A and B are shown apart, each in its own frame.
Chain A
Amino acid sequence: DGGITQSPKYLFRKEGQNVTLSCEQNLNHDAMYWYRQDPGQGLRLIYYSQIVNDFQKGDIAEGYSVSREKKESFPLTVTSAQKNPTAFYLCASSALAGGTYEQYFGPGTRLTVT
């Protein structure tokens, strides 16, 4: 089955610890994205990447880091510098050819930091 996988589904961490969220896609999409969703809020873009070894900051990149060593993978690290890390994190991907850039989403990871 083609799609986007995120792991784990739930993640619990103590304050002050870094944590890495996994995102993998087998859709052969060039672009990948990380969003954060808080209750009652729309999705906000954290980072995105359109090509391997290159990525750009989104609207709320502070306290987060990413890497794009492979086309299929785009892990997100939530660092201890992120002041309010508890949220629902969504990964997405899109093809760049064709022009629509239609985004497809993974199932999400719920991170709780105490």
Chain B
Amino acid sequence: KQEVTQIPAALSVPEGENLVLNCSFTDSAIYNLQWFRQDPGKGLTSLLLIQSSQREQTSGRLNASLDKSSGRSTLYIAASQPGDSATYLCAVRPKGGSQGNLIFGKGTKLSVKP
């Protein structure tokens, strides 16, 4: 059964720092991996989607990488800002399951201090 783990569960950094969030998954048979942001009490905002054939995707200060064979993805945030404070969730779309379904990690709660 596919399991997704995110470490650390919480992270606090000073403003301006570059940081990396980690996501690991147990089964490399995936179609893609998606990173989301969730603000307190809000829905999820899709940040980046990486297809299984891709190594990385970039959007502004965000860069997500995927190493499918080792079951790992990282989300790199450059020059962090207080507005980046949120919970970041990763999710994989596994092969063999029902199309479109996602398996989520529990998230990393990021706090960027001014």
Contacts and interface: CB of A to CB of B under 8 A. Distances in A.
Given A42-B104, A42-B106, A56 B98 contact: yes
A22 interface: no
Interface stretch (A11-19, A63-71, A77-85, A96-104): A96-104
Nearest to A40: B106
- Tell me whether chain B's interface is mostly helix, strand or loop, or mixed: strand
Nearest to A102: B49
A79 to B, nearest CB: 23
Interface residues of B, number: 25
B12 interface: no
Interface string A93-114: 0101001111111111010000
Interface string B89-107: 1010100001111101111
Interface residues of A, number: 30
B44 interface: yes
Interface of A: 4, 6, 31, 33, 40-45, 48, 50, 56, 58, 88, 90, 92, 94, 96, 99-108, 110
